[in-house]
């Protein structure tokens, strides 16, 4: 008898795994986790019980933003007076002209037992660039679309001088949403087996990241750290319900993105820790943007639920406003209430991690050449260089020769996160490695080598490559120059502005730019100066940083000397918008235009020693030697080729005009029949223009 997984049935019914398990409990079934399976009879019983209890309720959709009381009244089909009465029942009184916060709307809908789903709204533009300064707005002319030149009111800050025709390092850039991980040279997909998921924990300072891991590991690492803040990157392996999970404990999104910027794509899942009393803070929002840019699944752990000030619904609403729609609102982001201090909700969180790992089907080839990444390194005064390595493919063993970034060595000793010596490290297992000649950098790739000579040569090759002068991998110029090849269809931007009003105006103006072939993706938007974290994010995600009325401090300028990132500073908003428009054009393939030159009807076929010639009459246009052609019979195209020769009587001609008779020879085609049509045509490319980029009109009229 066939069986179905619990989480698959939950997805079918539109329930969370926890809700489905409650239904199973009513039927006398008590599964341990959502990863278990059910037989077909039990699954059908659950379906019947679900139909009896809930049926198929219709849901309303509400946008993830504050709603006016009139907009809410229209959506739930209640009069304004009734809504005001219910708000007063909830202890809330709101002026008619002020929008209702999303968390208050959610509380009201729950109180009214109204099913709802929170969705991201279409971007609105209450103030557009054209409305701000219409007298200064002039559409650029087509002939002005040259690779961008410096203007007197904007500054171009790049890591080095850039050449518009220079290829990006490493070849064609890979879009963020299609990240391709490198694999060992002897990687074999037929040997893939499941490996433990690798989880990174991020969140705002003092929201309980280390305490959460401390509770999971049953150790007391948090108490040993200054100010209860993690000061380093550590990797820890835990076991729950017979399954292993590897946690990477970072000091924040900065280290997470720095590893990505150096090529270490090690994370399968991100746990975002948010304190229930504080809610989403600025660092939380940055962590969300960095996790989104990495294109990895996110699970939210809403911590400190034991506090009296905890407000779970407010946190859910704040997350929804930032694009993380919780499952409680009909979205896909699991938000688990926990108390790391008291150990409450931890099992539910670990269960969700295992569930996500099963859906991702994290796999590795354990028989391949050892392959992984350096998470951190340090110099031990007695032992020498030590590197924390996490294995991705293969099995690393004592005695193996390895290359780690610009250095190499032989694995003399390995210890796990508890300090216990191990003889081998399997995929997803973090170990401390002793035996390298020098300290590698965090994010350096680790790969096995058959002998010391090969290891030394690989390390030397990497050193030479790293010492080569860096150049920006992506710039607005290179995006513009890619128009001929159409290499990408996504423009990744980081926007930094001096004040929130400027940031909103720029964001709304860019969101309204619309083209069917190009998507603008905002990796991060914030008020304040450009930081080293912005540089790392841009490099890791192949993005461009646009700054409006912001500065670069000396530290960031020095980072730009070694990090290949394109940074643009503007003082006029219209120049910023125009540059983005030109970059969009750089991402478009040229228009391919076909022009029919003429048609000739075959009236006789002459089979000569030199080849077959079709005796034709040009019915329309002209036939030109060397032009493309297609042979048409009965309305169907038999094939395409080129016009090889034209003769008018005994004279060779380069073209034959309408109304004339001629002999036509076609490359590679001889099976002519009377009545066939030879159609000559040419292919040309047209330059894309700014007129192709439309500005999206607001989805909802904005009241005055």
Residues 575 and 600 in one domain: no
Residues 428 and 338 in one domain: no
Please report, for the domain that includes residue 610, its CATH number.
Answer: 2.40.30.10
Residues 215 and 325 in one domain: yes
* pLDDT beyond 50 at 162: no
Rounded Cα–Cα distance for residues 599 and 128 (Å): 51
Instruction: For residue 183, tell me if it sits in a domain.
Output: no
Name the pLDDT band for 477 (thresholds 50, 70, 90). Answer: low
pLDDT, residue 627, reads 94
Residues 322 and 205 in one domain: yes
Burial of 537 by CB count in 10 Å (0-12 exposed, 13-18 middle, 19+ buried)? buried
Instruction: For residue 439, tell me if it sits in a domain.
Output: yes
Residues 353 and 204 in one domain: yes
Residues 527 and 549 in one domain: yes
Considering the chain, what is the average pLDDT of its residues?
Answer: 77
pLDDT, residue 250, reads 59
Instruction: For residue 532, tell me if it sits in a domain.
Output: yes
Rounded Cα–Cα distance for residues 647 and 655 (Å): 9
Residues 395 and 446 in one domain: yes
pLDDT, residue 178, reads 38
Name the pLDDT band for 101 (thresholds 50, 70, 90). Answer: confident
Q: What is the total count of domains within the chain?
A: 6
Residues 325 and 352 in one domain: yes
Q: What is the mean pLDDT of residues 129-145?
A: 37
pLDDT, residue 600, reads 95
Please report, for the domain that includes residue 200, its CATH number.
Answer: 3.40.50.300
Q: What is the mean pLDDT of residues 145-164?
A: 36
Instruction: For residue 133, tell me if it sits in a domain.
Output: no
11-17 own/partner pairs: CB under 8 Å, 24+ apart: 13/46, 13/47, 13/50, 15/50, 16/327, 16/334, 17/351, 17/355
Rounded Cα–Cα distance for residues 388 and 377 (Å): 6
Residue with token string 């009003």: 501
Its pTM surpasses 0.85: no
Structure tokens at 451: 């002998």
384-393 vs 430-436, strand pairing mode: antiparallel
Q: What is the mean pLDDT of residues 393-416?
A: 92
Q: What is the mean pLDDT of residues 535-539?
A: 84
CB-CB neighbours of 331 under 10 Å: 20
pLDDT winner (highest mean) among 351-355, 375-379, 461-465, 652-656: 652-656
Q: Which of 28-37, 106-115, 162-171 has the lowest mean pLDDT?
A: 162-171
- Residue 547: give the domain boundaries: 154-169+472-586
Higher pLDDT, 156 or 253: 253
pLDDT, residue 533, reads 83
Q: Which of 210-224, 354-368, 407-421, 451-465 has the lowest mean pLDDT?
A: 210-224
Residues 672 and 624 in one domain: yes
Name the pLDDT band for 173 (thresholds 50, 70, 90). Answer: very low
Higher pLDDT, 163 or 312: 312
List, edge to edge, every strand of the sheet that includes 566-570.
154-158, 566-570, 544-548, 490-497, 519-527
State how far the alpha carbon of 225 is from the alpha carbons of 208, 214, 433, 436, in Å.
Answer: 13, 12, 24, 28
Residues 483 and 429 in one domain: no
Higher pLDDT, 604 or 282: 604
- Structure confidence by residue, pLDDT tens digits, 263-278: 667 888 989 999 999 8
- Structure confidence by residue, pLDDT tens digits, 567-620: 888 888 888 888 888 777 765 566 677 889 999 999 999 988 878 999 999 999
Rounded Cα–Cα distance for residues 530 and 362 (Å): 36
% of residues, the chain, pLDDT over 70: 76
Rounded Cα–Cα distance for residues 210 and 201 (Å): 9
CB-based contacts of 694: which residues, under 8 Å, 6+ apart? 513, 514, 515
* pLDDT beyond 60 at 154: no
Q: Which of 198-212, 477-491, 511-525, 650-664 has the lowest mean pLDDT?
A: 477-491
566-570 vs 651-652, strand pairing mode: unpaired
pLDDT, residue 97, reads 58
Residues 210 and 357 in one domain: yes
Residues 206 and 313 in one domain: yes
Instruction: For residue 129, tell me if it sits in a domain.
Output: no
pLDDT, residue 171, reads 33
* pLDDT beyond 50 at 157: no
Instruction: For residue 697, tell me if it sits in a domain.
Output: no
Q: What is the mean pLDDT of residues 364-368?
A: 92
Residue 587: CA count within 13 A, CB half-sphere: 24
Structure tokens at 388: 């924390």
* pLDDT beyond 90 at 628: yes
Q: What is the mean pLDDT of residues 337-347?
A: 90
Burial 176-211 (b: 16+ CB within 10 A, else e): beeeeeebbeebeeeebeebbbbbbbbbbebbbbbb
Instruction: For residue 136, tell me if it sits in a domain.
Output: no
């Amino acid at each position: 008898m066939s069986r179905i997984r619990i989480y698959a049935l939950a997805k079918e019914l539109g329930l969370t795994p926890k809700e489905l398990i409650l239904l199973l409990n009513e039927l006398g079934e008590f599964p341990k986790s959502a990863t278990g399976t059910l037989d077909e009879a039990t699954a059908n019983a659950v379906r019947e019980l679900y139909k009896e209890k809930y049926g198929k309720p219709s849901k309303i959709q509400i946008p993830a933003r504050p709603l006016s009381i009139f907009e809410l009244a229209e959506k739930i089909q209640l009069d304004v007076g009734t809504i005001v009465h219910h708000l007063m029942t909830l202890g809330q009184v709101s002026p008619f002209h002020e929008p209702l916060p999303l968390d208050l709307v959610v509380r009201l809908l729950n109180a009214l037992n109204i099913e709802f789903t929170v969705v991201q709204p279409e971007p609105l533009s209450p103030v557009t660039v054209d409305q701000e300064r219409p007298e200064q707005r002039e559409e650029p002319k087509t002939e002005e679309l040259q690779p961008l030149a410096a203007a007197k009111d904007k500054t171009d800050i790049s890591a080095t001088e850039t050449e518009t025709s220079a290829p990006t390092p490493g070849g064609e850039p890979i879009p963020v949403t299609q990240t391709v991980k490198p694999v060992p040279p002897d990687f074999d997909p037929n040997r893939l087996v499941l490996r433990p998921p690798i989880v990174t924990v991020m969140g705002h300072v003092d929201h309980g990241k280390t305490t959460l891991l401390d509770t999971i590991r049953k150790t007391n690492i948090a108490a040993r750290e200054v100010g209860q803040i993690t000061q380093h990157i550590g990797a820890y392996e835990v076991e729950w319900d017979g399954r292993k999970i590897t946690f990477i404990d970072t000091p924040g999104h900065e280290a997470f993105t720095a590893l990505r910027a150096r090529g270490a794509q090690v994370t399968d899942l991100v746990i975002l820790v948010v304190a229930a009393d504080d809610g989403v803070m600025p660092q939380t929002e940055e962590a969300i943007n960095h996790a989104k840019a990495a294109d990895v699944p996110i699970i939210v752990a809403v911590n400190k639920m034991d506090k009296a000030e905890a407000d779970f619904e407010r946190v859910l609403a704040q997350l929804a406003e930032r694009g993380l729609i919780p499952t409680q609102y009909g979205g896909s982001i699991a938000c688990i209430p926990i108390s790391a201090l008291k150990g409450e909700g931890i099992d539910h969180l670990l269960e969700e991690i295992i569930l996500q790992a099963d859906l991702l089907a994290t796999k590795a080839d354990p028989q391949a050449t050892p392959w992984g990444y350096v998470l951190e390194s340090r110099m031990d005064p007695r032992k020498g260089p030590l590197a924390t390595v996490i294995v991705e493919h293969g099995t690393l063993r004592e005695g193996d020769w390895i290359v780690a970034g610009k250095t190499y060595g032989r694995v003399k000793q390995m210890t796990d996160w508890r300090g216990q010596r191990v003889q081998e490290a399997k995929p997803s297992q973090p170990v401390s490695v002793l035996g390298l000649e020098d300290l590698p950098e965090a994010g350096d790739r680790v790969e096995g080598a058959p002998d010391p000579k090969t290891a030394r040569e690989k390390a030397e090759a990497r050193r030479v490559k790293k010492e080569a002068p860096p150049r920006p991998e992506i710039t607005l110029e290179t995006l513009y120059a890619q128009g001929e090849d159409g290499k990408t269809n996504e423009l990744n931007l980081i926007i930094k502005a001096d004040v929130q009003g400027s940031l909103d105006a720029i964001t709304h103006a860019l969101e309204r730019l619309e083209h069917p072939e190009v998507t603008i993706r905002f990796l991060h938007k914030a008020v304040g100066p450009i930081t080293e974290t912005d540089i790392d994010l841009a490099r890791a995600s192949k993005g461009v940083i646009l700054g409006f009325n912001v500065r670069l401090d000396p530290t960031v300028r020095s980072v730009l000397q070694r990090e290949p990132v394109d940074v643009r500073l503007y003082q006029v908003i219209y120049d910023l918008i125009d540059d983005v428009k030109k970059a969009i054009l750089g991402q478009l393939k040229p228009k391919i235009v076909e022009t029919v030159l003429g048609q000739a009807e075959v009236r006789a076929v002459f089979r000569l020693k030199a080849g077959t010639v079709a005796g034709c009459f040009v019915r329309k246009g002209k036939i030109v030697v060397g032009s493309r052609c297609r042979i048409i019979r009965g309305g169907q195209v038999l094939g395409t080729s080129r016009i090889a020769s034209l003769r008018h009587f005994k004279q060779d001609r380069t073209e034959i005009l309408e109304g004339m008779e001629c002999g036509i020879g076609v490359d590679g085609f001889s099976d002519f029949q009377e009545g066939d049509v030879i159609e000559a045509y040419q292919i040309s490319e047209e330059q894309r223009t700014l007129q192709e980029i439309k500005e999206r009109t607001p989805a909802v009229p904005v009241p005055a």
